Amino acid sequence: MDIADRVVLVTGASSGIGEATARLAHERGARVAMVARRAERLDRLVQDLPGSFALTMDVTGESAPAEIVRRTVERFGRVDVLVNNAGRGLNLPVADSGLEQVRSIVELNVVAALRMMQAVVPDMRSRGEGVVVNVSSGTTLMALPGTGVYAATKAALEQFSAVARVELAPDGIVVSTLLPSLTRTEFAGSVEAGESRSYDDLPDDLPFAVQTAEHVAEQILATVASGETGVVLGRDGAQA
């Protein structure tokens, strides 16, 4: 799907991959709707992207997914593309992960992503077309200590995406997943021993290259255009 003049809805849009995707989609002529919890960040982004639309909302809220889609349709008339990017990390051993931590990350990374997809389907189905890109993680392809719970949530996302792709194909809706490797973003939701971490200030002398949020955004829009099932980005940012 060519995104020029299309309506692209991006969750987790206030920073990192979400912000980069919103900016690039706008640059390429899309009408962009953005959702995140940080109002100040969204306000600045709307000023930078004339004609865009932003909602300060937590996607895990009971009525949030339906409300987000309803207000986007009110503003732009439809939703052509959903970039399901909102998510949070957890950097703790499986044996040390608390029940509430697990429930919280599952609620955001799995349940909210599923409900956002469910919310856009009726509008897309009524028009016989639409694209959903669910942003997963390369951690699902490895046994990396400290990422067990986080990777499990992303594996669940990939599985329901794969099944939804088959189920929704007759309706003209394409569901894809993107698996980025380590990306230079804030990603401050990652937690270790109760403390937030940031990937925005990673050193430049790591033993492998770290991809940028802008590169991942390029790949997201390329996936929208190609309709590929699942795109895996290698550690150097290249498609694997």
* pLDDT score of 62 more than 50: yes
CATH code for the domain defined by 7-232 = 3.40.50.720
More confident residue, 210 or 140: 140
Taking alpha carbons only, the member of 87, 12, 2, 13 closest to residue 52 is 13
Q: Report long-range pairs for 36-45 (Cβ below 8 Å, ≥24 apart).
A: 36/11, 36/12, 36/86, 38/14, 41/14, 41/15, 42/13, 42/14, 45/13, 45/14, 45/19
Tokens of 154: 């992303």
The type of residue at 108 is L
In this structure, how many other beta carbons lie within 10 angstroms of the beta carbon of residue 240?
12
Taking alpha carbons only, the member of 215, 201, 207, 194 closest to residue 92 is 194
Q: What is the pLDDT of residue 185?
A: 54
Q: What is the pLDDT of residue 152?
A: 96
Q: What is the pLDDT of residue 234?
A: 60
Tens-digit pLDDT profile for residues 137-170: 988 988 889 999 999 999 999 999 999 999 999 9
> How many Cα neighbours within 13 Å face the side chain of 116?
35
Instruction: Tell me the catalytic residues.
Output: 150
Strand runs (DSSP E) across 69-172, as ranges?
Answer: 81-84, 130-135
Query: How buried is 83 (Cβ within 10 angstroms: 0-12 exposed, 13-18 middle, 19+ buried)?
Result: buried
Reported as a pLDDT band with limits 50, 70 and 90, residue 186 is low
Taking alpha carbons only, the member of 144, 183, 58 closest to residue 108 is 58
What is the percentage of the chain residues whose pLDDT exceeds 70? 85
Taking alpha carbons only, the member of 37, 81, 75 closest to residue 59 is 37
Output the CA torsion sign for 216, 59, 161, 147. Answer: positive
Contact 117, 125 (CB under 8 A): no
What pTM was estimated for this model as a whole?
Answer: 0.89
Q: What is the pLDDT of residue 107?
A: 97
* pLDDT score of 197 more than 70: no
